[in-house]
Structure 1
Amino acid sequence: MLSLLDTPKEPSTTPSSQSKHATSPHPKHPYGLAKGHGKKTHGPAKMFMGAPESQPQDSSAPTTASVTQPPSKRFVLLLSIQNYDLFKNIHGHQIAAIRSRVNVKTAVTPQQAISHFASPDLAGIYLTDPGVIYHAQIMNQLEQYVKTGGLLVVGGIFSSFIRMDDIDKFFATFGLPWKRGSYQRSTFYRNDHHDTVRKNPSLASNFTMKALHVKSLPVTAAMYTVEEEESSDESMFGEGEFFGRGKAEMKEFKAPVARTHVGDGYFGYIGDVNGEKEATNIVLSMLNLLDPPPPPPKPTSRKFIMILSFESAQNMEQHYSSFFTSLKSKVEVLHGLSNERVVDLLKSSDLVGIFVMSTSIMNDENAYLLSKLVEYSKGGGTLVFGGPFSSDITIYQMRPFFMDGWGLPWDMVCGTSKEVAANPNNELIKRNHSLLLKLYTKSLFITGMTPVSAVYTVRPPSHISSSVQLAPEAPIVYATVENGHIGFIGNFNLDKKETEIVLAMFQLLK
């Protein structure tokens, strides 16, 4: 294996058109990323970042005919503009694994790539080298493909051959703030909270590889991470500065494998440089080809609600055991689902409502899910926030979150114990006469809501004149948003009385 500053052996070449294309840099790149034109390079002339030693070259043109294809017309496109032969030599096992699950087509020229982008049978794109960054038309269409729902996986020899000055610009094309991180060998650990990981439990829990990391990304986007206290046994940056960057860079959060939403699609990155076998399953998982999806629910008229906690479902249900027991006595409760499964079930006519228990819904990784929840609630659904959400949300998050999503100018007042009275004008009180008329609660209070949306309001102190107008405060809110409803429970303990109110919001209180 070669370190960062090693110069790899050139792969043997043939007079094939692919070899000519791979060794001739594009004369002009509209993005300013043209290879070698007036740019000062660092270190050796050849900037192949840790590329593995070359293996015997197979000069055969790329083809999918050597393997019996599955009957489906769906296909994965291998986008290998720079050097398909080298990718095939190093990562041939990945090609075989993909072909065993879906048809594979290969594009080694810009024209071939563009001809496949609009195909309705395109299941995903595996970008195997950085050749595309020198072709503005491909970059523009690749960006649109992802943002309109496509799957893009960046891996193969990409991290070995991408120029240092180009990778940040590449990420920025997709609206990602990710930056080039350290280059090192470490043991990496699976992030079990990542949605792709939860959908693919067969992914390795940990493994060792040499990789180019990315940084400036949220933890929620990382599929694998290096433990904070672990010191790499083969750090390529050493103790001093490298390319003008010092030790402080290595202390930032970084990840060798990441995947996140970009628009309606997904962008995945794998920094592996040696073709580790564990990386193959990661590629498959990002292309939705690894573990089979859960079976569709059996036909039933059983109504259900979904609870989103983004944490261990078992731990959450233990902590709020009385709350979950009450819910399950009235309706089927689905908890711990993947984001994709939640989105799929939003269309079900048996869905009664959704209860959000965590501020993790605000994380970048969950932005697409949040947008679908907004659509669901405005379209006639019921979305309720409470439990740990109420204890964790900050004063700086409250107004932007509810204003941006639903146009609700809600602010918060620090939690305190107060006596509150039922609001007879609120529709929840009107249709549920069994709800208590008075409560004494320790809760987070909301201001800025319309008077009619407050389920309970603070009773003004007796020494305050009735002529003095005080801003209303409410520990529980149930507001109409277009055709649906938004609920908020300020008491994060979810006591018996709050549980009954949640049931009422979902029209389950009998």
Structure 2
Amino acid sequence: MADTANNRILLISLGHKDFFDDMFESLLARLSTGAKLKRAKTNKSALRFLTNEPPPRAVIVTDPALIKHEALLVRSHVFRYIRNGGTGIFMGHFAASVNPPDLQNFFNQIDLPWEAGSYKRLTHRLTHTLNPQGWEPSPGAVELPAQYTQKALFVKNVRPTHALYQTTPNSPAETQDIAPEILHNPNEAAVAVATVGDGIAAYLGDLNGEPEMTTITLALCGL
């Protein structure tokens, strides 16, 4: 584990829904075991946690309320935190509830061309294969799963080196009436990780909080 002086993980949940804690119970438990987990549900508390020293080892944005105009100051601090070497993770209800045009504008603000891609419904569950060209966790962090079956909102316009989990033409679908090659788009990723300034931004499109999401989030946090 990394140095305890920088062992805080901040959840920014400005649009928090109570069922998030039930849906992502395993993730929250694992994060709490490996780090000091803090949660901000207001702009004021988010700014306080973001400006405390040392900065968090990771910031996890759990819903799309950060995109709203009222959160402009918090959003600018999150982007500054990432550019200065932090890890920003956008997942959970962020992916499930975001308005597609807002998603594109949001990532454009940190010079990423990502925008909302296809939505693979439950009946089209695909196995997303780990991209060997993509981001790798720090030594000592949990090992990334080689495959990940999920229902997800994909992002598109993703560079090959930024696509951590994506489908292949041979990814199996649950239904037999749609050919996997139709569902496969090499321009899209269910999990994308990119360098932004001195830090990284990660998008996890999983809508149901599969076990692999927990593992990947822990790896992104260096746990």
Tell me if TM exceeds 0.5.
yes
Q: Distance in 1 between matches of 2:161 and 2:84?
A: 22
Q: Quick one: structure 1 residues 119 and 172, their matched pair in 2 at CA, closer, same or farther if it must change by over 3 Å?
A: same
For residues 90-239 of structure 1, what are the structure 2 equivalents within 5 Å? 90-121=23-54, 122-134=56-68, 135-184=71-120, 185-196=125-136, 199=139, 202-230=143-171, 232-233=173-174
Whether contact under 8 Å (2:101, 2:115) holds in the other structure is no
Unaligned 5+ segments in structure 1 are: 1-69, 240-246, 290-510
Shift of 1:201: 6.7
Bigger relative CO (Cα 8 Å, ≥ 6 apart)? 2
Q: Quick one: structure 1 residues 281 and 231, their matched pair in 2 at CA, closer, same or farther if it must change by over 3 Å?
A: closer
Q: Distance in 2 between matches of 1:191 and 1:201?
A: 16
Residue number in structure 1 paired with 2:16: 83
Q: Rg: which structure is higher?
A: 1
Q: Quick one: structure 1 residues 165 and 249, their matched pair in 2 at CA, closer, same or farther if it must change by over 3 Å?
A: farther
Q: Displaced runs of 4+ in structure 1, greater than 4 A?
A: 70-73, 197-201, 247-250
Aligned match for 1:277, one of 211, 215, 221: 211
Whether contact under 8 Å (1:183, 1:213) holds in the other structure is yes
Shift of 1:98: 0.6
Q: Distance in 2 between matches of 1:116 and 1:201?
A: 26
Letter in structure 2 aligned against 1:176: L
Letter in structure 2 aligned against 1:160: A
Q: Distance in 2 between matches of 1:116 and 1:197?
A: 25
Whether contact under 8 Å (1:225, 1:254) holds in the other structure is yes
How many residue pairs match? The answer is: 211
> What is the RMSD of the two structures over their aligned residues, measured on CA atoms?
2.5
Q: Distance in 2 between matches of 1:77 and 1:99?
A: 11
Aligned match for 2:189, one of 247, 250, 255: 255
Letter in structure 2 aligned against 1:219: P
- 1:297-355 per-residue CA deviation (whole Å, 9 max, x = no partner) reads xxxxxxxxxxxxxxxxxxxxxxxxxxxxxxxxxxxxxxxxxxxxxxxxxxxxxxxxxxx
Unaligned 5+ segments in structure 2 are: none
Q: Matched residue of 1:195: which SS? A: coil
Shift of 1:195: 3.3
